[in-house]
Structure 1
């Protein structure tokens, strides 16, 4: 089964918050089998359900271990919505 995940990360840190966001995205992009798309508002992850969910959760945990406080807003949608969005454009 496929999944689409939309993630917004809001580190509650004074300094270098952009560095933490880009590091999070870079680590997800390094996972074979995941498609990662970014825009100014969020990051979308598409792929196999178990692969995507396990890696997204692991990366969320890593941010929580590295940053004093961070908020994640996530949407989990079954199916590969990247195909639907590409067909619209």
Structure 2
């Protein structure tokens, strides 16, 4: 099953950028299609594989920050090629 995941990591601390950059770079190293914008990062791929990798990378990201939030949205389909039709 293909999924699309939108992630927003929000460290609640000073000097937050290094932890966000580290998290995004780790996702880029994965086998998945990854898109970034100023507000979030999207990951596209097979459900089992994406979730297995995200479990590891989210845990590492949380270990590197003092406090923080991670917002995650999951869509059951690969929306990588989505283009608005309006």
Instruction: Please indicate, yes or no, whether the TM-score normalized by the shorter chain is above 0.5.
Output: yes
Tell me how many residue pairs correspond in the alignment: 85
Q: Tell me the distance in 1 between the aligned counterparts of 2:22 and 2:39.
A: 16
Match of 2:49 among 45, 48, 51: 51
Gaps of 5+ in 2: none
For structure 1, list consecutive stretches of 5 or more residues without a partner in the other structure: none
When normalised by structure 2's length, the TM-score is 0.91
- What TM-score does the superposition give when structure 1 sets the normalisation length? 0.88
CA distance in 1, matches of 2:77, 2:65: 31
In structure 1, the partner of 2:84 is 88
3-state SS, counterpart of residue 44 of structure 2: strand
* Counterpart Cα distance in 2 of 1:22 and 1:12: 15
- What RMSD over aligned residues (CA atoms) do the two structures have, in Å? 1.3
Aligned pairs for 1:7-18 within 5 A: 7-15=7-15, 17-18=16-17
Q: Which residue of 2 aligns with 1:61?
A: 59
Spell out structure 1 runs of 4+ moving beyond 6 A.
none
